[in-house]
Chain A
Amino acid sequence: MIRAAGRVLAWAMLAGAVVFLLAPLVVTILVSLSPSPVFQLPNGRLTLGWYERVGRLDGLVEAVVLTMEVATVATAISLVLGTLAAIAVVRGRFAGREAIATFLVSPLMLPGLVLGIAMLQYFRAIGLREALPSLLLAHVVIVLPFVMRTLTAGLARFDFALIDAARTLGLSYPRAILGVMVPVLAPSFITGGLFGFLASVDNYPVSIFLTDVYHRTLPIQLLQYLGESPDPTVAAVSSIIIGLTVLMLIAGDRMVGLNRMAGV
């Protein structure tokens, strides 16, 4: 009896959770297809009209370009720094390596907004007032923990005898690392890089303090649209973002597998 009740409860919660989690996405897509200009669900008739207006949104293209620029550069830098640090932490035998590992992933657990104001004051103090370099530097700190976390886990499972094997089979040490470690750890690079990239693209609380009128990242621009022009064009933009996120996850699934990406 108790067991059956437990099972029913578990299944009900799972079903409810899935519906609940997907509800805002489904509603956003439906609103974007509805002819009504006041955020109503479509009743019978669908339109792509709001999507046509997306291109005319003021500042959207610039925001997308800036966001992609920042996320790509920050992810690339983080992958290099994170890989080196993860190797040191997993393979090294030096005092304080656990402290360093914790330190390098800690921005993940700290409030973004506090990070944002701290960086704002710091950049002002050292005389850095340009928005673009400030954003780039800040986003390295945002992306690095994701890379560091997945790579430490990946490296802990990595069999370093593979590198020995490659060396005895005719590869020099540097070539063995590139030829074996990089492809075997590819899932960790992809997972860490992907989630780090998404975190950078989505970041609001740090970016808000570092942007200026000419450099607005996508989340800041979106929030502004929501504030000033509440029409379903925003729903159309959101739907496009949903579509792109789905595509990225499908690509990630093909390359890595969803379960591995979910960290389970």
Chain B
Amino acid sequence: MSRFGIAWLAAPATLVCLGLFAVPLGLLLVESFHGAQGWSLAGYRDFLGSAYAWGVVARTLRLAALTTAICLVIGYPAAFALAWTRGWVQSVLVACVLLPLSLSVIVKAFGWTVLLRANGAVNLALMGLGITSAPLRLLFTEAGLLIGIVNIFLPFMVLPIFASVRQLDPRLPEAAATLGGGPLYCFLRVVLPLTLPGVIAGGTLVFSLAIAAYVIPTLLMGDAYQTLPVMIATSFLYLQDPMRGSVAGVVLLALSILVVVASTWLGRKGEAA
């Protein structure tokens, strides 16, 4: 088959994706300009003019940023230790990361509702370690939500960094050391830049998953804690206000695309540097 004829093999999948995902998203965009009295910018005017909506956007972004930061702080060093292991130990540890990643979000969220209760394991551990004297209220607090959401998305940070650490030539830090670089200098100038693609990939993945998270916030915080996804769902499912939902949807979509574009740009810049 000629290399031009081969292009047609992509046609079925492209048509399916156009018809089932690009056109619907386009329609959503149209719908967000379509109020009860015909075409209008009312949806956006209401949304952008509302301090409440801005609060929701800010909350969504803050939650995603905190999640990404915590996942990075835990995941970056953990990925290195994971790469230092060998043989069956590594297999078991990789399985420990893959299993939660493959498992239903609802199952994990359910586990956290149990763990975060006043008499749950987290409180018992905190008190046992002498960190707190009385049980903390964790369920339906932002701290509890963060614990749960970091738990769900941590594997998405660990695996890309793990992959980039494994590709790291072990002789490079040694070469840097023979050239007179101290451990910190060597880390900052050799190891960190070389593992940055993994960090960017993991960070993008976690951030875009976190701004779109719906199940965890509703389960651990309830509908009163409004993030963009929760707002979309309540607008459609309970308030029957598709215009508001569509506008929130377009805003969330725009944020997601922005994240991907920004990370692609960062990745290119990293490559060029």
Contacts and interface: CB of A to CB of B under 8 A. Distances in A.
Main secondary structure of the interface of A (DSSP, over half): helix
A144 B184 contact: no
Interface in B95-112: 95-100, 102-112
A23 B111 contact: yes
Interface string B171-206: 000000000001110010000000000000000110
Given A13-B77, A21-B151, A89 B10 contact: yes
Contacts of A263: 159-160, 163
A210 to B, nearest CB: 12
A234 interface: yes
Given A39-B117, A104-B17, A21 B100 contact: yes
A81 B16 contact: yes
A71 to B, nearest CB: 12
B110 A113 contact: no
B253 A103 contact: no
Contacts of B100: 21-22, 24-25
A20 B81 CA distance: 16
A248 interface: yes
B75 interface: yes
A21 B215 contact: no
B42 interface: no
A125 interface: yes
Interface in A2-43: 2-3, 6-7, 9-14, 16-18, 20-25, 27-28, 31, 39-41
Nearest to B165: A264
B20 A111 contact: no
Interface string B238-253: 0000100110010011
Contacts of A93: 3-4
A198 B253 contact: no
A226 B110 contact: yes
Contact of B108 (A12, A24, A110, A259): A24
A126 to B, nearest CB: 9
Contacts of A25: 99-100, 103, 107-108, 111
Contact of B97 (A6, A137, A262): A262
Interface stretch (A45-53, A56-64, A178-186, A199-207): A199-207
Interface of B: 3-4, 6-10, 12-14, 16-17, 20-25, 27-28, 31, 74-78, 80-82, 84, 90-91, 93-100, 102-115, 117, 119, 121, 151, 154-155, 158-160, 162-163, 166, 182-184, 187, 204-205, 208, 211-212, 214-215, 219, 229, 232-233, 236-237, 242, 245-246, 249, 252-253, 256-257, 259-260
Interface of A: 2-3, 6-7, 9-14, 16-18, 20-25, 27-28, 31, 39-41, 81-82, 84-85, 87-89, 91-94, 97, 100, 103-104, 106-107, 109-115, 117-122, 125, 137-138, 140-141, 144, 148, 195, 198, 201-202, 204-205, 208-209, 218-219, 222-223, 226, 234-235, 238, 241-242, 245-246, 248-249, 253, 258-259, 261-264
